[in-house]
Structure 1
Amino acid sequence: MVTMTLVPDSEQLRTPAEQATSLFGELKRGRTPSRSDGQVSKSYTRGANNQEAVFVRNVDLKVAYATFAMHLSKEIKSKYFERLDQILDVEEWEIEDALPKLSSFQDFARTLIFYQFKWLPELTVSSSGVVAACWYTKNDRITVEFTGNRSCRWALSFRENEELELATGSCQIVNLESRLRPYPLHEKIFDGEAAEYS
């Protein structure tokens, strides 16, 4: 629904984040934001609600992530806290995209604890809200999507004898390392034995 909102001159000096916070407070109190004087602008009620949902989901994911934090190094904790802020930027979020699924992100965090990696994966989120870990080099790439219930789908590509090889599969997270063991990328990613899985 589109509503017309009157915005005073002082409102225009506030940052978008400050304006969004103000809108969220009024929406929570059951009011449509309005102003008594000033310049007329368009406000999308759905957009305001969407921004609030993005902010709340970011908090939810960070709270969930914190439950795993005692098992992770400072480097790992910082990397993905910052990445969540990049992904869930209320000013940049596309309204048609699904928010990251909590169970999917929790399985990503479990994987960081369960396996030792030679380098940390990039964290991405699909338009349907599925969280994925990505490792890539100039010629090789592996993507692991966390589908919930401690399961995942994986896809990889690599060059062998100048030929491009592709492979895909699905498994429980606890079996991911063994499923990828036949492929050259395994040695580039995994480092050492897996920890106890819980």
Structure 2
Amino acid sequence: MTSERERAYHHGDLRRVILDAALDVIATNGPGALSLRDLARRAGVSHAAPAHHFKDRTGLLTAVAAEGYALFADALAGAPDLRERGVAYVRFAATHPAHFRVMFQPDLHRTDDPDLLAARARATEALREGVADLPPAGRGEDDRLAGVAAWSLAHGFATLLLSGALTDAMEGRDPEEAFRSLAGLIFTAEGRGGG
């Protein structure tokens, strides 16, 4: 019987098959466990086939990061304000943990890749728009520093959530609602914006 991955390969989508297999490995065992030879075995193709699409392991991780940033930018773009962009950030990390792990480890990918740069710029712009929507009292004197504060809050929460470090502190609360409450402590509607 032919596996779904083999069918996808024979229909010309080996690149997607390899990316999906890589995401599975990264989500389960982390990016350090990634091997093009293992991915080729999983896809039922020659060990040289993944190199045709990604050149090497770094190329594959670059593709994962670029795809992650594109998905991330899309997720952020639909959020109406800074707080909800933070919620979208946390939701993205929870639903795309493999992408998230690779995106923020620049030593894993080619940081000068044009697709990666374009996708990262879209995501950065979506975050900056959230900060720009804050009233002046919420931004303080430095928009860039306000952006770093908002990013640190969302990224820190998402990273702690993925690592399992928040399990006890959350006491069964929905992570998105917990983040909304946390963001409200820092970016209040009265003085510092956010919803």
TM-score (norm 1): 0.29
TM-score (norm 2): 0.29
Higher relative contact order (CA 8 A, sep 6+): 2
Q: Which has the higher strand share?
A: 1
